[in-house]
């Protein structure tokens, strides 16, 4: 195996935010596979004048110029408040929902939110590390799925939100077994004959592991699946052993931003190319490099949700 320093240098070298680098990745795409869909983020999340002014002020301040730090801090706070308002619009938009509690794999209480009614196809939505069932991405997907007649359950992982227990981060096998419990609950309580697990970030790794381990999972959607050296440093055991689960021959959709700090696009596409079909990939070109791991506006979540639900409907 190559020394870590060499692998890190190779990953850093792949971190090029230009479209040319992305085109280079696609030009080497195997001829037998469909090229990824590339979504232009600028169409869904145009940068406002206020955002551009904030970035310019921060750059000037870094060089000892521009407005005082207090002014920049005030502008930054306004930006944070705007993103919070966007998330609130997703979380609180009215859909048919009910709260449920389940017993996890190790006896913990898992709190979940069910959206929609019983359906042949159901989704199990898994939040990111430290995230809960009110993640904007999960709320948006649940709302869109319900509108298309697909029920879903999103839940707080053990040790987060309203769920009891504690996270087992260094070897998070418990989170995967909890996901299996929720999948079986969805089949029994939502009347689903097909269940797809959808996860964001760490939740994407849980989704892939659940698909690889449990026959009750029919497919996976992995949003911002971490596959960079930072991920290996954070959760080395899970990052190493879990990667094999993603190659299970079940339908799989991967969604990445091309400026994701936890998934350099060249490395992500190269790894994706090794996975067993059937598989699809969507790339969001130009996702904010500071938040390239998440979808942080209403319009971006809508674009993400549209593609995820359309893929599930196609597979079903």
Q: What is the mean pLDDT of residues 275-285?
A: 93
**Mean of pLDDT values over 13-30:** 38
- Straight-line distance from the first to the last Cα atom of the chain, in angstroms, rounded to the nearest whole number: 40
Confidence of residue 266 (pLDDT cuts 50, 70, 90): confident
Q: Is residue 29, in this structure, part of any structural domain at all?
A: yes
Highest mean pLDDT among 49-53, 64-68, 133-137, 220-224: 220-224
Task: Give me the domain span that covers residue 192.
Answer: 4-47+98-315
125 within some domain: yes
Q: Assess if residue 244 is contained within a domain.
A: yes
Q: What pLDDT does residue 61 have?
A: 53
Average pLDDT estimate for 76-88: 61
83 located within any domain? no
Element (H, E) at 252: strand 252-257
pLDDT of residue 308: 97
**Tens digits of per-residue pLDDT, 177-220?**
999 999 999 999 999 999 999 999 989 999 999 999 999 999 99
Query: How, if at all, do strands 279-285 and 97-103 pair?
Result: unpaired
Higher pLDDT: 89 or 29? It is 89
Q: Are 184 and 193 in contact (CB under 8 A)?
A: no
C-alpha to C-alpha distance for 121 and 95, rounded to whole angstroms? 18
In angstroms and rounded to an integer, the radius of gyration of the C-alpha atoms of the chain is 20
Share of the chain above pLDDT 90, in %: 46
Tokens of 284: 């969001």
The residue among 52 and 242 whose pLDDT is bigger is 242
The Cα–Cα gap between 305 and 105 comes to 29
pLDDT level of residue 307 (50, 70, 90 thresholds): very high
Tokens of 138: 């999960």
Nearest CA among 257, 170, 157, 162 for reference residue 210: 157
- How far is residue 303's CA from residue 105's CA, in Å, rounded to a whole number? 34
The total number of structural domains that make up the chain: 1
Give domain status of residue 73, yes or no.
no
Q: How confident is the model at residue 26 (pLDDT cuts 50, 70, 90)?
A: very low
Banded pLDDT at 47 (limits 50, 70, 90): low
- Which segment of 110-114, 118-122, 294-298, 300-304 scores lowest on mean pLDDT? 294-298
Q: Which of 16-30, 38-52, 137-151, 264-278 has the lowest mean pLDDT?
A: 16-30
User: What is the pLDDT confidence band of residue 265, given thresholds at 50, 70 and 90?
Assistant: confident
Task: Kindly report the three-state secondary structure assignment for every residue of 237-305.
Answer: HHHHHHHHHHHCCCCEEEEEECCCCCCCHHHHHHHHCCCCCCEEEEEEECCCCCCCCCCCCHHHHHHHH
CB 283 within 8 A of CB 121: no
**With contact defined as beta carbons under 8 Å apart, do 258 and 290 qualify?**
no
CB neighbourhood size of 42 (10 A): 10
Instruction: Check residues 192 and 22 and name the one with the higher pLDDT.
Output: 192
Length of the chain: 316
Is 175 a member of any domain?
Answer: yes
Q: What is the CATH number of the domain that holds 168?
A: 3.40.50.1820
Lowest mean pLDDT among 9-13, 87-91, 259-263, 292-296: 9-13
Query: Of 300, 231, 304, which Cα lies nearest the Cα of 261?
Result: 231
Mean pLDDT, range 90-100, rounded to an integer? 73
Written as six digits, the tokens of 78 are: 């306004």
The winner for highest mean pLDDT among 132-136, 154-158, 166-170, 226-230 is 154-158
Q: Is residue 72 part of a domain?
A: no
Which segments within 69-189 are labelled E, that is strand? 97-103, 109-115, 121-126, 151-155
Is 140 contained in some domain? yes
Confidence of residue 49 (pLDDT cuts 50, 70, 90): low
Angle at the Cα of 247 from the Cα atoms of 293 and 112, rounded to 5 degrees: 55
**pLDDT confidence of residue 221:** 98
Contacts of 278 (CB under 8 A, 6+ apart): 249, 250, 251, 252
Evaluate if residue 20 carries a pLDDT over 60.
no
pLDDT (tens digit per residue) in 210-240? 999 999 999 999 999 988 766 666 666 666 6
- How far apart CA 291 and CA 301 sit, in angstroms, is 13
Task: Check residue 290 and give its pLDDT.
Answer: 60
């Amino acid at each position: 195996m190559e020394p870590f320093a060499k692998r890190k240098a190779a990953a850093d070298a792949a971190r090029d935010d230009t479209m040319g680098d992305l085109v280079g990745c696609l030009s080497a795409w195997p001829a037998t596979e469909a090229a990824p869909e590339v979504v232009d983020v600028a169409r869904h999340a145009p940068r406002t004048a206020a955002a551009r002014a904030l970035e310019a002020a921060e750059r000037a301040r870094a060089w000892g110029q521009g407005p005082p730090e207090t002014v920049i801090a005030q502008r930054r706070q306004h930006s944070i408040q705007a993103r919070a308002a966007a998330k609130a619009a997703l979380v609180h938009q009215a859909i048919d929902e009910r709260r449920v509690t389940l017993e996890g794999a190790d006896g913990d209480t898992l709190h979940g939110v069910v959206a929609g009614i019983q359906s042949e196809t159901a989704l199990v939505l898994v939040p990111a590390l430290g995230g809960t069932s009110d993640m904007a991405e999960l709320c948006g997907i649940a709302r869109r799925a319900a509108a298309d007649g697909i029920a879903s359950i999103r839940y707080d992982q053990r040790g987060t939100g309203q769920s009891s227990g504690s996270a087992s981060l260094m070897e998070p096998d418990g989170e995967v077994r909890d996901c299996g419990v929720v999948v079986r609950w969805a089949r029994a309580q939502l009347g689903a004959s097909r269940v797809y697990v959808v996860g964001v970030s760490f939740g994407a790794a849980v989704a892939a592991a659940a698909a690889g381990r449990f026959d009750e999972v029919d497919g996976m959607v992995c949003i911002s699946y971490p596959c960079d050296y930072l991920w290996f440093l954070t959760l080395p055991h899970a990052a190493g052993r879990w990667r094999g689960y993603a190659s299970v021959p079940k339908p799989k959709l991967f969604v990445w931003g091309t400026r994701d700090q936890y998934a350099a696009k060249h490395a992500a596409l190269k790894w994706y190319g090794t996975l067993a079909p059937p598989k699809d990939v969507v790339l969001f070109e130009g996702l904010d490099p500071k938040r390239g791991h998440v979808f942080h506006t209403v319009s971006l979540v809508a674009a993400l949700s549209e593609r995820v639900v359309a893929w599930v409907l196609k597979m079903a």
